[in-house]
Amino acid sequence: MIRILIIGQGLAGTALAWRLHERGVPFVIVDREEPVTCSKVAAGLITPVTGMRLKVSWRFEVFYPEALRFYRNIGKRLGRRVFFPRGYVRLLKNEQERQKWPKRLRESEVGPFVHPQAPQLDPAIVTLSHEGFQQRHAAWLDTVTYLEASRRFFGDAYRQATVEPDEVIDDAEGVVWRGERFSHVVWAQGWQAAKHPLFDWVPFQSALGTILTAKADLKGERRILNRGCWVIPRADGTLRAGSTYEWSFPDPPAGSPSMIADLETKLRDFLAVPVELVGSQSAVRPIIKGRQALLGAHPSHPRVVFFNGLGSKGSLRAPWLARHLAEHLLDGRPLDPEFDLQANDPT
């Protein structure tokens, strides 16, 4: 009988739990409830045209419709809205971007995501050049509400515990954890999986990120704004701004003061209104070198499964990836080689 143990209730583990729930498959999901995790800190942004290259995010046309349906359905079941489609204004931050953008605009894949109207920003809110574009199909996920409400919904299927790798006994029948038997264990523990003895060969190249919370009167502007850093206005008058990438960081993770100061400077340079800094939060994005995510069973432990490497796109990709993994585990559907852990086995 299939009964799945999920370790980690971040965006990865939570999406998988919902996929199993949809299929009526019993599961237990365990999390150690750290106050700060990647999924709790994340801005939850979903953005079609991203990065300095102004390219459409990889497989956006596949991941986005799935994410939209998934979070809307979950919101209905939870009786809480967790997903917020928003206008997104991307301003061009330098001459390089100004030269690149007209070329990008001629590319057929970019057009569907660009709003025909120019951004039209209030110069009392945003400084300097307003040259840029508005994106369609952008959104943000309220990750904290989604994770908390999902945990409550899972009821007895949710457990608070730290699970050590050697506590999960793997035998011919399945796996056993604290006297309970499961058909599989799925490790969805984010960047900390790099310390798991069965997965220490996975080429993690995780990056620490920091997000600021600030107060500023944006005069009713609700769109997400971006020029050098992004700003998400929130209903309570605060905003979130981010984010940084630090490729080496201490353990336990902490953002470096110089990177935080640099982000604050970008925010103050961007906004024309006074900004009062409320705080900052830092966490580690689980990034796997050369991969957009990896899933599937360990090459020599078929009941020990990995679900990780969501990088900086966890909100966008987790719903599709979780369904893909569920269909693999439940129906035997082959994994897309792009995500197949076994295709990356170094032996």
**Which CB, 142 or 221, lies closer to ligand FAD?**
142
Nearer to ligand FAD by Cβ, of 176 and 272: the residue is 176
Is 255 near ligand FAD (CB under 6 A)?
Answer: no
Q: Which is nearer to ligand FAD, 24 or 35 (CB)?
A: 35
Contact positions with ligand FAD (CB under 6 A) in 87-106: none
If one asks whether residue 150 binds ligand FAD (CB under 6 A), the answer comes out as no
Per-residue contact track with ligand FAD, 40 to 79, x per CB under 6 A? -xxxxx----------------------------------
**Options 104, 313, 323, 328; binder of ligand FAD; rule CB under 6 A:** 313
Does the footprint of ligand FAD cover residue 148 (CB under 6 A)?
A: no
Mention every residue, 6+ apart, whose C-beta is less than 8 A from residue 287: 191, 204, 205, 206, 207, 309, 311, 312
* 26-29: long-range pairs with CB below 8 Å, 24+: 26/2, 26/157, 27/3, 27/157, 28/3, 28/4, 28/157, 28/158, 28/159, 28/180, 28/182, 29/154, 29/157, 29/158, 29/159
Q: Which amino acid is at 250?
A: P
> What's the closest the beta carbon of residue 130 comes to ligand FAD, in angstroms?
23
Of the candidate residues 6, 7, 16, 260, the single one contacting ligand FAD (CB under 6 A): 7
Q: Does 311 bind ligand FAD (CB under 6 A)?
A: yes
Shortest approach of ligand FAD to residue 164 CB, angstroms?
7
Instruction: Answer yes or no whether residue 13 interacts with ligand FAD by CB under 6 A.
Output: yes
Q: Which of 5, 9, 275, 288 binds ligand FAD (CB under 6 A)?
A: 9
Question: Does residue 233 interact with ligand FAD by CB under 6 A?
Answer: no
| Site membership for ligand FAD, residue 296 (CB under 6 A) | no
| Residues in contact with ligand FAD by the rule CB under 6 A | 7-13, 30-32, 34, 37-39, 41-45, 162-163, 188-190, 192, 209-211, 242-243, 283, 285-286, 308, 310-316
